[in-house]
Amino acid sequence: MSWVEDAAGSAYDLDNLPYGVFSIDDSARRVGVRIGDFVLDASAAAALGGDPGNGPDLATAWGRPTLNDFMALGHDAWQVARAWLVEVLGAEVHRDRVEPLLVPLSEVTLHQPFEVADYVDFYCCLQHATNVGRIFRPDGEALLPNWRHLPVGYHGRAGTVVVSGTDVRRPRGQRLPAGSSAQVRPSPELGPTRRLDIEAELAFVVGAPTPLGTQVPTSAFAEHVFGVTPLNDWSARDIQAWEYVPLGPFLGKSFATSISAWVTPLEALEHARVALPGQDPPPLPHLQVEEPAGFDVDFEVELNGEVVSRPPYAAMYWSPAQMLAHLTSNGASLRTGDLYASGTISGDDRDQRGSFLELSWGGRDPFGSSDRTFLEDGDTVTLRATAPGALGGRIALGDVTGTVLPSCST
């Protein structure tokens, strides 16, 4: 356990060590590592005695204003860096030199941790897909024919991925007037969304790139994925419902996607691995995985201080390794900073649904103490997530928070 004050036994002990980007007052942005309620100035620590052994130039990579340079060093460098951090934050012999480089979390400003290259959102939860299918197609099949054969996804907008704490402006777009039907030659109107929603997701951050024309097998998942972050894919359901046929989500999704200020290394989740719930029929050979391929990550969705849902990521049908393999199966390249998300996480029970669309069953059934169906201006949503750690407790993934602002009038 760590010698850092109050870190031992906490959700941010040596078995976590998430990376972020911070500044103090007007100082330059650089990489920090969270330990307890402190942030280690990683570049300054690496520069104390040179980089470990003949390893990567961590001091330089950690001195950059994003994680991208460090992530681009690749899997071997990530392992060297983590082993070194565990050593200097865990062995008392290093305390006198490293302790002055710890800054209280309350004194730093956190920034977006990496520059997003591309963003892909998947639709990988059986319970969520089934619920949505039943809401929108009550007289038809809940799942479309392709759903159990591939992880369905769409390409999102990298430029509107924002860090936790960023306010979210209620989007405007085309929507159908209340009471009208898309089946009877509709006449849409332009206005603020009436059905602003959230989606509780787990996202994966690509570090090691690939050239165009390369396919990444499921077995190479850990060679390319640097870490994870909780993600809130804000959604305007009425705009989405009108626009998404036949090409899928666009403006109803692209106005904001929130991620944590902390990226938890994939290696920190080794003790959270669990088997998938089962896939029937078996996927095609290029999508088959060795178990355990899932992760035991428990989420909380908090609305204005009240927990309204606890989605379990362990329930996910498709694994992140399968998402990555499918994403590259046509030869699409990976870039450092690529972000791909699981899609909404939902469990079997009502209080495990990861979107307000499901919690309210399409707006029919209010939920929570405020009898909410969709988000109102001024609402604050926070996603929290924890997972089993190597030291026997649970590690915390960084929170994701956003507050809804009114729509612009023009």
Question: Burial, 142: exposed, middle or buried (Cβ in 10 Å; 0-12, 13-18, 19+)?
Answer: middle
CB contact at 8 A, 257 and 236: no
Residues forming beta bridges with residue 386, ordered by sequence position? 298, 396
Query: 179 to each of 143, 190, 242, 294, 394, how far by Cα in Å?
Result: 26, 15, 13, 42, 47
Question: Taking the CA atoms of the chain, what radius of gyration do you get in angstroms?
Answer: 22
Q: How far apart are CA 251 and CA 244, in angstroms?
A: 9
Other beta carbons within 10 angstroms of residue 62's beta carbon come to 25
CB contact at 8 A, 198 and 231: no
Burial 245-261 (b: 16+ CB within 10 A, else e): eeebbebbbbbbbbbbb
Q: How far apart are CA 149 and CA 145, in angstroms?
A: 8
- Respond yes or no: is residue 224 known to be catalytic: no
CB contact at 8 A, 142 and 130: yes
Phi-psi region of 74 (alpha: psi -120 to 50; beta: other; left: phi over 0): left
Q: What are the DSSP calls for 183-231, one per residue?
A: TS----EEEE-S-EE-BEEEEEEE-S-B-TT----GGGHHHHEEEEEEE
Selecting among 75, 94, 111, 128, the annotated active-site residue is 128
**Residues involved in catalysis:** 128
